[in-house]
Structure 1
């Protein structure tokens, strides 16, 4: 049996066991510098708003215990922020001891107001700045320089259409409705 076939078989067997307790098995390649492989998570709230700001952070962790704490605290922060006005969505990644977050907002002000009133965020920030959580980190707030159109293929005839940010999804020349996907 070839190596890819063996990996597929082991993954399938582990997947059955993991599925019984509500988990999935993900197999990622070993790091091959400059590439580092890991996992990711995102919200799926369906918010159609065009992003007006993107908060980006990263934190380097010391070990798997610290990584687990960062993931737990991050989940609490995102849960609280998702209820805030102006929140569009979140993507988090983790690879090679570095966690990244990307949070989309309708405006920089919405992001700043949400962070200012977020208790889980304040606690995580204190733990990082005044405790021992993480070796180093970075936070930032970005605004769009250019927003390109979304491209969607018509589900009926296959024609591709460009939808500019802020525009409603048109109908295709064949009459089919074209859906606009959330930006995040």
Structure 2
């Protein structure tokens, strides 16, 4: 029985060193670049969706706020065209060098008409630049006991450039407030 012989070991070079080839390094770098690019694009997409959600929420809140303001007016003020146009409809002012308000992107339309049978419609339109126009005036609103107030807001979304709108309606009575 022969004993196994030992290999001679070179004292300078004990074992072969392993390294990555240039191709392996390039493939790994490419995979890392694709991964990070997709993560950044996904982040950008999420931010765009968040902006779209903020716009929709701002529109909903704006419509609700305008409806509440009109609902809480005295009935005589609500049926007076000049009062609503001058005191209620103007958009919030934004000084220069500040972020723009959502009202600077949207067109708001308020319609006030006698309920249940309309005798014309008083319609106000506030444009994104803040100007308010009176498109039509209903006759005999002051004699009405009930009026229907429609508030709608339309804008073009930042995400996709789609036209969007929000709308609400309420009926206001000529009653006494306590």
Structure 1 or 2: larger helix share?
A: 2
TM band (smaller chain): under 0.3
TM-score by length of 1: 0.22
